[in-house]
Structure 1
Amino acid sequence: MRKNNKKDYIKGFLALIGAATILSFYGLTIRLQSESFTSYGQLFFRTAIALILILIIIAVKRNWKVPKSERKWLIAFGVGNTIYPFLFTISVLNINAANSVMMLYVGGILAAFLIGSVFLREKITKLKLIGALLAFIGLAVFAFPFDIRGAALVGIGAGLIAGVFDAASNALRKYITETPREVMLAISFGTLVVIVGSVISLTSVQAVESSPVQVPSYIAMIVHSVCMITGGYLLIYGFRHFDVNAGTIVLSSEIFISLAVNYFVLSESPSVNEVIGALIIFSASGAIALSVAEKKQSF
């Protein structure tokens, strides 16, 4: 694990803001893909495209050396990055999407603080705690009213555990420093393709909708695949140069950005709760930005 100076933290912070911005467009591209592909189908095909593209990049750069000391952590990284999307999907199927997002980030932020302080020796400062508190309040306001149905406990549990796996993956992004980013992405994409492909092959799950495949769906899928690579680069760079606990709070700003994207692109008007909650969540990133600027609150 590398030591970073203040300039590195600023670069890491900006990289994570960039990653959050890219993540905020996923909802738009997924909607377009849903016109022609099922959830499993679009997950498989867009990840397969991303895998092919990243393998081409690796072949061109000829940079695929992996230190022996990091190989086991790479396997854990690939598995963790595959498990958390499945758990999040289970959560969405049992509670509404807003509540699932809340559980994902609540579990992720709590796990990030625990993993960061225990395993990565990250400091817990006042501004970080303020940022976490603002994020929790914003998430609660954003997700209100809470979805309490018969299977709510399953959805809540799956969402929280998904957040834990996401935080663990981010911690590994920071811990794995010698392996090229392209190789990390290839392992992550490859693991997901194998598992989702196996699910589609061994079950009756469909990959393509019965309706004819629409051209916009293809375009959205390719754009999403490129975003997976770009966002993946930014996430690895960001967490290698930033704290996992603070970085997870920064990533939650995608909620605010996605509302803006949906409003300006899809003309969707968010509810008052969503606007207020998203603004509070975004202010949490402001607290983290202050912690970077303040020398006394150094990481």
Structure 2
Amino acid sequence: MAKPKITFGGSEALLGAAIFFALTNVLVREMTDMWGDQAQVAARFALVWVILVVFAKLSKGKRATIPRSKMKFAVAYSIFAATAILFFTLSIQNTSIANTLFTSNATELFIAFLLGSLLLREKITPRKLIAIGLALVGLILYSDSILVGSIGIIFGLLGGATTALCNVLAKKLKGVDLSATMRMQFGLGAVFMIVLTLIFSPNDIVRTVSIEGVAVTIVFALLLIVATRLVLYGFQHSDVNVATVILSSQLAFGALLGFFLYQEVLSPHEIISGALILCAAIIGGIAQKPTVKDIQVHL
């Protein structure tokens, strides 16, 4: 039987990643009972790396590697990705999910726009400006104040800045095998986070061992694999500015999860903000050039 082809573009990949990353915001809090703040990032990265290596060993064919010309970008991407996730983890532990996503997305949006337009020379189109404008208005409406001095807000800003740098580096890794990139990211990231944990919080690694904590850690690792692969694919097949807008739709998803699971009640202007960001994501997808990849479906 013929193998049908499914076209899968950068917009769809990034929207899927936004949903998965919104779920991880919840799992960060659920891991708190078992792991210290820095230790949980190290545990996630180490587990993901083990899963990826085992999968590569069991897979048939030659294992892909990262070309030497791309190695510096892969190393930088791995370090910034681990740092960004650490900042998000610390932010979520010190403020609401909505505030974390607000501050991080606001910072990420501006830095990605500057880097994409100035360094990568990406074209600024009317639709792109409309999408970024809608997202910006939505983000401004989402909170009465960005710089309130809370540590949760500060870590959110830092998380957004490092994520924007990761997005540009992901663009530089276009053409590199995604599995090889992820093995490098989580392997090097795990080592980096273990060192940070041992230096800054050696007495806050494992808090209380439980079956629930182990289960959440495993689920988190699996979600990270899927979401990271979608992000890498999405940014490699997308304009950085538009891709950042689409990924910012996780703000709406995360706010909804915070409301239903933690009773983090949204005000009317926060609801309007979420709607504007979703509109920006849709317009961002329309503005994007039709770059697709054929995925073979075996029947």
Fold in common (TM above 0.5): yes
- Asked if residue 193 in structure 1 is aligned to residue 217 in structure 2, the reply is no
Taking structure 1 as reference, are residues 255 and 36 closer, same or farther at Cα in structure 2, changes over 3 Å only?
same
Quick check: 1:95–1:147 contact (8 Å CA) kept in 2?
no
CA–CA separation in structure 2 for the residues paired with 1:227 and 1:263? 21
- Asked if residue 177 in structure 1 is aligned to residue 212 in structure 2, the reply is no
Letter in 1 for 2:246: V
- Asked if residue 233 in structure 1 is aligned to residue 229 in structure 2, the reply is yes
Quick check: 1:144–1:273 contact (8 Å CA) kept in 2?
no
Letter in 1 for 2:248: S
CA apart distance, 1:41 = 2.3
Other structure's SS at 2:28 match: helix
Quick check: 1:67–1:178 contact (8 Å CA) kept in 2?
no
CA apart distance, 1:278 = 1.3
The aligned residue for residue 4 of structure 1 is: none
CA–CA separation in structure 2 for the residues paired with 1:98 and 1:241? 28
Q: Deviations over 1:241-269 (max 9, x none)?
A: 11111001111100111233344556654
CA–CA separation in structure 1 for the residues paired with 2:97 and 2:261? 20
Please, which moves more after superposition, 81-90 or 28-37? Answer: 81-90
Q: Deviations over 1:169-217 (max 9, x none)?
A: 11221221232111211121122211221122234341122xx423222
The aligned residue for residue 122 of structure 1 is: 122
| Among 254, 271, 274, the residue aligned to 2:270 | 274
Report matched runs for 1:133-212 at 5 Å. 133-146=133-146, 148-149=148-149, 155-156=153-154, 159-203=156-200, 204-209=202-207, 212=208
The aligned residue for residue 82 of structure 2 is: 82
Please, which moves more after superposition, 90-99 or 13-22? Answer: 90-99
Quick check: 1:84–1:165 contact (8 Å CA) kept in 2?
yes
CA apart distance, 1:46 = 1.7
CA–CA separation in structure 1 for the residues paired with 2:38 and 2:288? 40
The aligned residue for residue 58 of structure 1 is: 56
Other structure's SS at 1:25 match: helix
Taking structure 1 as reference, are residues 257 and 225 closer, same or farther at Cα in structure 2, changes over 3 Å only?
same
Taking structure 1 as reference, are residues 283 and 178 closer, same or farther at Cα in structure 2, changes over 3 Å only?
closer
Paired residue total: 282
Letter in 2 for 1:52: V
CA apart distance, 1:23 = 0.5
Q: Deviations over 1:12-47 (max 9, x none)?
A: 100000000101101222222122222122212122
Structure 2: give runs of 5+ residues left out of the alignment. 1-5, 291-299
Taking structure 1 as reference, are residues 178 and 33 closer, same or farther at Cα in structure 2, changes over 3 Å only?
same
CA–CA separation in structure 1 for the residues paired with 2:23 and 2:253? 9
- Asked if residue 214 in structure 1 is aligned to residue 210 in structure 2, the reply is yes
CA apart distance, 1:161 = 4.4
Q: Deviations over 1:90-126 (max 9, x none)?
A: 6668876644433322221122122222332311111
Q: Deviations over 1:132-188 (max 9, x none)?
A: 111122112222255524x67x954x5444323212211221221232111211121
Taking structure 1 as reference, are residues 128 and 24 closer, same or farther at Cα in structure 2, changes over 3 Å only?
same
Identity percentage of aligned residues: 26
Quick check: 2:100–2:153 contact (8 Å CA) kept in 1?
yes
CA apart distance, 1:288 = 1.0
Quick check: 1:81–1:169 contact (8 Å CA) kept in 2?
yes
Structure 1: give runs of 5+ residues left out of the alignment. 1-6, 295-299
Letter in 1 for 2:224: M
Quick check: 1:99–1:147 contact (8 Å CA) kept in 2?
no
CA–CA separation in structure 1 for the residues paired with 2:40 and 2:252? 25
| Among 45, 50, 53, the residue aligned to 1:47 | 45
CA–CA separation in structure 2 for the residues paired with 1:26 and 1:266? 14
Quick check: 2:39–2:206 contact (8 Å CA) kept in 1?
yes
